[in-house]
Structure 1
Amino acid sequence: MTQSTRQQLRQQVRLKRQALTLHQQEQASKAVLARFNQLQDVHHAQHIAIYLSNDGELDTGPLIEWLWHHGKTVYLPVLHPFSKGHLLFLHYHPDSRMHCNRYGIAEPVLDVRHVKPVHELDLMCTPMVAFDEQGQRLGMGGGYYDRTLSQWHHHGTGPRPLGLAHDCQQVRHLPCEAWDVPLPAIITPSAYHHW
């Protein structure tokens, strides 16, 4: 029942997100950047993981440009080649060599010299399909970010997570599983939610 409900929510919210016009996407990204660059967590962080937008997600391009401009070191998630369901984080810069992973998402070409251990990251901007009024996050269903953030959630070690989303991705209540990691903060174009 829970999995079925979660899958229905994924489909509904993804359709809403994909229906946003280019103008709406641009305005949303500008509004999120205006909130993002005011956060102390962002200003105090040096090593920041973020993601490249896909499937109607909030456009992170302007945030990445802002981070580079302010001397922050940016990292992108890469599917772990040997540990199924896990992510690595690679240094990302304007000249990074890129390729598409098995989900069709652009990621840096794996080079162990550019890998940053998760516990050395300061802040991790996370994608999501939906979130609720308690900060619960619903991803695409692979559990990549829940696994990545489990050390932070259970032991307080590793990067502080910060969710990025469109307003239309908020729902009243998400059905949760034991492994779900709630987020302490989420930025949308209209609000900074924190718990």
Structure 2
Amino acid sequence: MADASLKAELRKGRLAARDSIPAEERIEKSLVLAAHGTEVISVDPGTVVSGFLPIRSEVDPRPLMDQLRERGARLCVPAILDKTTIVFRELVRGADLVPGTFGTVGPGPEAAELDPQIMLMPLSAFDAGGHRIGYGGGYYDRAIHRLHQKGLKPRLIGIAFDCQEVASVPAEPHDVRLDAVLTESGYRLLGVTA
């Protein structure tokens, strides 16, 4: 339980730091982050990229997602099906978005479900070793595990503001490490071997 308590404390602190960034500054930092991401994230036509539609004070990855779409990526975003499962539904221009869980919106059940090759992942906190703290539901860890069971190994890129970095995240056996993190300071590979 000590790890869970520490994670909860780190989550609360980093989300408070993120919440304290003024809205205008969050927009500017999100645009800078998108510019960095556009320089380093390459996609072939048809590459499936999962992003997310921001809630609360999250980084807004939509400018980056739009650039990746312009280069030929197929975009998808998470949809929560139940208390344990998310799927990734294709996000196409002009499609209706429907309300989801936790204040999210996204494509409805008629949208195609895709298996991401690159995952742009929201988070609460991260460390230089590639460990992340999500929002506590474990949805992404389970989704990544399902992709691994299918023999897929998506590239995992945490999307965050610099203020969300911590010295160390307690790792649990089910936690999946990030390959990289993208912040307003740039793109960094994190504690993983190639």
- Normalised to the residue count of structure 1, the TM-score between the two structures is 0.88
Q: Distance in 1 between matches of 2:123 and 2:48?
A: 21
Which stretches in structure 2 are left out of the alignment for 5+ residues? none
Aligned 8 A contact 2:43 2:72 in 1:
no
Measured after TM superposition, the shift of residue 55 of structure 1 is 2.0
SS of 1:9's partner is: helix
Amino acid at match of 1:85: T
SS of 2:11's partner is: helix
Name 2:166's counterpart in structure 1: 171
Which stretches in structure 1 are left out of the alignment for 5+ residues? none
Name 2:113's counterpart in structure 1: 115
Deviations 1:111-153 (A, max 9, x none): 1x5111x2xx221111110001211010001001111222566
Q: Distance in 1 between matches of 2:162 and 2:105?
A: 25
Is 1:20 paired with 2:21? yes
Measured after TM superposition, the shift of residue 63 of structure 1 is 1.5
Q: Distance in 1 between matches of 2:95 and 2:162?
A: 31
Name 1:44's counterpart in structure 2: 44
Amino acid at match of 1:44: D
Amino acid at match of 2:53: L
Aligned 8 A contact 1:85 1:142 in 2:
yes
Measured after TM superposition, the shift of residue 191 of structure 1 is 2.8
Pairing partner for 1:125 from 115, 120, 123 = 120
Name 2:4's counterpart in structure 1: 3
Q: Report the count of equivalent residues.
A: 188
Equivalences for residues 61-76 of structure 1 within 5 A: 61-76=62-77
- Further displaced range: 23-32 or 170-179: 23-32
Is 1:185 paired with 2:180? yes
Measured after TM superposition, the shift of residue 16 of structure 1 is 0.9
Measured after TM superposition, the shift of residue 156 of structure 1 is 6.6
Measured after TM superposition, the shift of residue 93 of structure 1 is 1.9
Q: Distance in 2 between matches of 1:110 and 1:44?
A: 27
Q: Distance in 1 between matches of 2:189 and 2:12?
A: 26
Is 1:160 paired with 2:165? no
Q: Distance in 1 between matches of 2:94 and 2:150?
A: 36
Aligned 8 A contact 2:11 2:125 in 1:
yes
Alpha-carbon distance change, 134 to 189 in structure 1, aligned in 2, over 3 angstroms: same
